[in-house]
Chains A and B, each alone.
Chain A
């Protein structure tokens, strides 16, 4: 005298409402975040190269942080820290050529860093620090 329900039906209403994006069109958006590992590698490299070349980070650490993350992103996606402040027709070809792989040729030869990552002491934007922490990078790019 037992009733056993072996199967039953579940009604799933079809979604008719179109997906609406609430993104503000007037907001500048960055790409997907680079890996923490690559960010740390590029952070250490930046500190070491600043000391080696006698250059300093920008007085606005936000600039430094974004560039370091850009280098890390290119390291993740391309396998090399291609300069993030240039436009390339073919990024893979540029990586193979090596001219714009950080530290780029203009930086190595003339201490000219278009990205403002490595600034000579006489530069108006140069700070007085050659170090940046991972927390500083995360903090200054948290609102991106």
Chain B
């Protein structure tokens, strides 16, 4: 019988070649993984036989502790903060800032206690640098209070809960 081949001009089809492992130098090095040498090896001609460099993906991790404060970016800043009808609390934090974690917990409690009276947002100064620069944020954590589109109070650094509550009460009463 005559030999045959199947090919197609379709762009979604890729031609694969059957290779005899005995004639392939690279495949013989990996043949020790099999108890018996496979009769043939399938290899896509357009793909490398092995990764030239190891695939290293950064471990992106997250706080499993979900915050009740909503993340806000430059695009959402005007509508979320400046045009808000209710007073707004914004906490500025950085990715690797330890004290920011403590303040996050405090703000979470406050967000629950003042639900309906106060909106809470968080800003990552590492990703939203423009907002941080606009409000001259130098150190984090910083909590800013807004009312009627204007900054009216701030708490810099890590403070006990009472400090934040006092600032909120001042804003709500003003």
- A-side residues, CB < 8 A to B, are 1-14, 23-33, 58, 60, 62-67, 69-71, 73-74, 84-87, 89, 114-117, 124-125, 141, 143-144
A87 and B138 within 8 A (CB): yes
A64 and B98 contacting across the interface, CB-CB below 8 Å? yes
- CB within 8 Å of A: which residues of B? 1, 3-8, 10, 12-18, 44, 58-68, 70-71, 92-102, 104, 122, 124-126, 129, 132-133, 137-141, 157-158, 160
Q: Give me 10 A-to-B residue pairs in the complex whose CB atoms sit less than 8 angstroms apart, sorted by A's number.
A: A7-B17, A8-B18, A10-B15, A12-B14, A28-B104, A30-B61, A63-B98, A70-B97, A85-B100, A89-B133
Interface contact B63-A33, CB-CB below 8 Å: no
CB neighbours of A71 from chain B (8 A): 96
Q: Which residues of B contact A124 (CB under 8 A)?
A: 160
Residues on A with C-beta less than 8 A from B6 are 5, 7-9
Q: Are B12's CB and A33's CB within 8 A?
A: no
Chain A, Cβ-Cβ closest to B57: A32
**Cβ contacts under 8 Å, A28 to chain B:** 62-63, 65, 67, 71, 93, 104, 122, 124
Known: A7-B15, A125-B158. A115 touches B129 (CB 8 A): no
On chain A, the residues within 8 Å of B15 by CB distance are 7-10
Contact flag A87-B62 (CB < 8 Å), given A13-B12, A28-B104, A66-B101: no
- Minimum CB–CB distance from B96 to chain A (whole Å) comes to 3
